[in-house]
């Protein structure tokens, strides 16, 4: 990913420097013009058609950042009242009540505990596998949402580079028809080159920073959930609950019924 990102950045920098040099030469031959500050809408128009997908990417980036940080907070991953209540139920030995509470709580830590308690009658091995499977599912879901920030960080410089290339094509086309003595004919194309490139980088940088921050935040949250769950199941009485029905999870496998379906015919 670093190599893919480095190539468009180097290319954009090279084209941007070449464009600035061409603009400086054209401006030197032209009379001084009155300076005026450009508004955000002026820059958006100068950026050309690539500003529309870049704007959509910026909106999506903000949404994924806010959503990611909210979903990975301690209050969402393992709420203090959920952990406290589950610890009280485990101390009482009320595992049926712990299962019911975890199912209704529906927080990530409660989902992991629900999966473990439901399969605890099957033994310690099955319980640990259920816990690991549920933790892996939650981690994959959180990281899957955060990975969209990485996608935005890669795609926006590419989109900006596309605007750079199209802007350079227009600039050179105008240069071939009007010559370097008319900078006004080049201003629109050169503006598209610079604004498109800067806009792509402006979105990519915070997207990548937020992606790595969220990834570290998710890893810490998953580690904390694992510590909470392992503490609850450290002295779990697997022998006493063996063969019992703790939760209401549907069991699909039962004793074999050899008469349910006709036996396959033997091949000649």
- In this structure, the number of other CB atoms found within 10 A of the CB of residue 91 comes to 9
- Asked whether the beta carbons of 157 and 12 are under 8 A apart, the reply is yes
CA-to-CA separations, 137 to 54, 72, 108, 144, in angstroms, rounded: 32, 15, 10, 10
How far apart are the C-alpha atoms of 47 and 196, rounded to whole Å?
5
| In the chain, domain spans | 2-23+40-238
Mean pLDDT by 10 residues, the chain (268 residues): 45 43 42 50 66 89 94 94 95 93 93 94 92 95 93 91 78 65 59 76 92 95 95 92 79 73 68
- Asked whether the beta carbons of 79 and 104 are under 8 A apart, the reply is no
Report DSSP letters for the chain, one per residue.
-HHHHHHHHHHHHHHHHHHHHHHHHHHHHSPP----PPPHHHHHHHHGGGHHHHHHHHHHHHHHHHHHHHHTSHHHHS-HHHHHHHHHHHHHT-HHHHHHHHHHH--HHHHHHHHHHHTGGG-HHHHHHHHHHHHHHHHHHHHHHHHHHHHHHHHHHHHHHHHHHHHHHHHHHHHHHH-TT-THHHHHHHHHHHHHHHHHHHHHHHHHHHHHHHHHHHHHHHHHHHHHHHHHSTT--HHHHTT---S-PPP---S--TTSSPPPPPP-
- Asked whether the beta carbons of 108 and 71 are under 8 A apart, the reply is no
């Amino acid at each position: 990913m670093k190599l893919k990102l480095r190539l468009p950045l180097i290319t954009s920098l090279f084209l941007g420097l070449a464009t600035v040099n061409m603009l400086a030469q054209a401006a030197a031959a032209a009379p001084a013009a009155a300076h005026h500050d450009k508004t955000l809408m002026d820059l958006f128009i100068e950026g050309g058609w690539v500003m529309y997908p870049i704007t959509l990417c910026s909106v999506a980036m903000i949404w994924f950042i806010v959503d990611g940080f909210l979903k990975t907070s301690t209050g969402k991953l393992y709420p203090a009242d959920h952990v406290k209540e589950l610890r009280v139920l485990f101390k009482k030995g009320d595992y049926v009540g712990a299962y019911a509470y975890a199912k209704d709580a529906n927080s990530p830590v409660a989902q992991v505990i629900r999966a473990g308690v439901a399969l605890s009658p099957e033994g310690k091995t099955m319980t640990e596998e259920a816990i690991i499977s549920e933790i892996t599912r939650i981690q994959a879901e959180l990281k899957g949402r955060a990975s969209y920030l990485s996608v935005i960080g890669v795609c926006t410089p590419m989109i900006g580079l596309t605007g750079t290339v199209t802007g350079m094509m227009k600039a050179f086309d105008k240069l071939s028809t009007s010559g370097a003595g008319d900078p006004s004919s080049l201003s629109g194309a050169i503006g598209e080159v610079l604004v498109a490139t800067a806009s792509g980088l402006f979105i990519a940088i915070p997207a990548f920073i937020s992606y790595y921050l969220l990834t570290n935040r998710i890893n810490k949250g998953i580690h904390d959930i694992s510590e909470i769950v392992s503490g609850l199941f450290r002295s779990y009485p697997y022998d006493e609950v063996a063969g019992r029905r703790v939760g209401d999870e549907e069991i699909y496998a039962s004793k074999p019924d050899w008469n349910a379906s006709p036996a396959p015919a033997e091949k000649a």
